[in-house]
Structure 1
Amino acid sequence: MSDINTMILVEHPLNEKMRTWLRIEYLLKQLLYQKNFKNIASTLTFFRAVSDLIDILERFEIRGDLLKKLEYQQQKLSSWLCAPNTDKDLIDSLITKLEACKNALVSAPRIRDCLKEDRLITSVRQRLSISGGGCSFDLPALHLWLHLPDEDQSQYIGNIIYTLKPLHHALMMILDFVRQSSSLEMVNSSNGFFKGNTEKGELLRLRIPLKNRLYPKISGNKNRYVIHFIPLEPEHSRSVDNFSFELACC
């Protein structure tokens, strides 16, 4: 059972680009967590995440947006080199890592095309929209694949993870910079609401006490936002009135 003193971390994007990046991060985590298959459920979770990732890569220019953000971070760090009392070695190291991410992303083949050309991924994608479409008679190729030796499955999954590596590294580095751009600070809600202003904010991060049994409904953009705290169960509505939580606008 969870400790009642646990703090729940919640993140909310303030623009469409960040929304897309967080969704990609979520899918990449599923791919990495499910890479050791133990049953058909974990296998379908993996392939469904791959399918969703393909859909996102088809709808948005992810590579170009990530390259622009990496370049922006490099320029920002370079401007700090002339500032007094800066750790120049650390900044040079970060600039080098950003450059490595850029080069890997530029030289990588089109990830979307690599995934779509895989016959097993294609066959599974065609059945994911069917209720119960993971049955062996719907996906005989996957049924056979599940009975292959572990080393064959590991090699196949390893190739997919390797294909996604440039995307994964670039995205995680960018999100790390964003998340570390602002520190969590204690603030107070009023009657279940909190309003704030920001200058070109990209991401809200909240740490909420589990004991309050509240979840946030957030609306906003790069300039302003509103957080409405809602009780999970009606009997806990009193805890909405006024309480403290931690907030960072990154």
Structure 2
Amino acid sequence: MDKIIFEHPLNEKMRTWLRIEFLLKQLNLHSHFDQNNALLFFHSLSELLEIIERNDVKSELIKEIETQKNKLLSWANIDGVDQVLLNNLISQFDEYLVKFNSVMRLGQALKDDRFITAIRQRLMIPGGCCSFDLPSFYLWLEQLQEKRDKQVQNWLQHLTVLDEALSCCMQMIRQMGEFKPFVYNSNFFQETSGEFNLIRIRVSLDKNVYPQVSGHMSRYSIRFIPLEASENTITEALEFELACC
């Protein structure tokens, strides 16, 4: 039976990381574009740089890497632990720390790029990237695909450490949460628990419902809403799975 996983952040840090993760996936997905879909890439890039500018992403990720590394070190003497995998992960985290410490500000080279800046400024205006608004962009789109792809990859290299480190941290965080079965009834589910960053809700696709979550790290509530606008309540018990990470 096909299932869908909904994720909901329980603090501002996780909210920011999920948005960055989403935008990085969009960037990688649309990194090879033509004249017809180029703006998909630049919209994602502009939004990502906006988030980085407004949040202290670098220091928060460094803290998370150090926390995850300390957890791994505490497992070193536990029987049955895969020492090779453990040491590889610790070395990987050490490499991320070195790379982060060698970067003054994340994405600074992209923020300083005059070509990208010109596009970002016009993206705020509906239809602002027309050929008469951005003739340089219009000309650039007519360059050879190979030349444009090379420049795009050069831009993305400035985000590599962010992409790799965040992916690794998010994978570790998600693996910390084990899915457990629950039953939703009476149109309300509430849970009081320890401090978590993220909850993951898994439900069968054939139920055709989505969760509406409210709350914070220690207490949250879930209400399932039918996708069809004609329905606003669920009258029967609904089985779902929940993981707290």
The TM-score range, normalised by the shorter chain, is over 0.9
* Residue 7 (1) aligns with residue 3 (2): yes
**1:111: which partner in 2?**
106
Rounded to whole Å, the distance in 2 between the matches of 1:195 and 1:66 is 30
Q: For residues 221 and 134 of structure 1, do their structure 2 counterparts lie closer, same or farther at Cα, with a shift above 3 Å needed?
A: same
SS state at 1:227 partner: strand
| Aligned ranges 1:151-170 → 2 under 5 Å | 151-170=146-165
Cα distance in structure 1, aligned partners of 2:25 and 2:235: 32
Unaligned runs of 5+ in 2: none
Mapping of residues 41-56 of structure 1, within 5 Å: 42-56=37-51
Deviation at 1:54, TM superposition (A): 1.3
Matched, 1:21 2:17: yes
Q: Where do residues 128-139 of structure 1 align in structure 2 (5 Å cutoff)? A: 128-139=123-134
Report deviation, 1:240: 5.1
Q: Aligned equivalents of 2:174 and 2:58: distance in 1?
A: 20
Aligned pairs, number: 245
Q: Residue 205 of structure 1: which of 200, 204, 208 is its match? A: 200
Deviation at 1:118, TM superposition (A): 1.1
Cα distance change on mapping 1:196 and 1:124 into 2, 3 Å:
same
Greater shift after overlay, 129-138 or 11-20? 129-138
Q: Which amino acid aligns with 1:224?
A: R
- Determine which of 115, 118, 121 is the counterpart of 1:120: 115
Over the aligned positions, Cα root-mean-square deviation in angstroms equals 1.6
Instruction: Work out the CA distance in 1 between the residues paired with 2:168 and 2:235.
Output: 36
Residues 108 and 166 in structure 1, CA contact (< 8 A), matched pair in contact too: no
Mean Cα deviation higher: 106-115 or 121-130? 106-115
Question: What are the Cα deviations for residues 124-163 of structure 1, in whole angstroms up to 9, with x where unaligned?
Answer: 1111111111211112111111100011111111011111
> Larger deviation: 10-19 or 229-238?
229-238
Which of 78, 96, 118 aligns to 1:101? It is 96
2:137 pairs with 1:142: yes
- Quick one: distance in 2 between partners of 1:193 and 1:7? 21
Question: Which whole-Å CA distance do the structure 2 matches of 1:234 and 1:194 have between them?
Answer: 21
What residue is the counterpart of 1:81 in the other structure?
76
Deviation at 1:227, TM superposition (A): 0.6
- Cα gap change, 1:64 to 1:238, in 2 (>3 Å): closer
Structure 1 stretch displaced more, 134-143 or 153-162: 134-143
Q: State the AA in 2 paired with 1:52.
A: E
TM-score, normalised relative to structure 1? 0.93
Change (3 A) 1:240 1:27: farther
Question: 2:7 aligns to what SS in structure 1?
Answer: strand
Of 20, 28, 32, 2:28 maps to 32
Matched residue type, 2:68: Q
Please say if residues 192 and 241 of structure 1, whose CA atoms lie closer than 8 Å, have aligned partners that are also in contact. Answer: no
CA–CA distance in 1 between the matches of 2:131 and 2:109?
Answer: 25
Deviations 1:190-249 (A, max 9, x none): 123221122111111111222222111101211111011111114455645311112101
What TM-score do you get using the length of structure 2 for normalisation?
0.94
The aligned amino acid for 1:27 is L
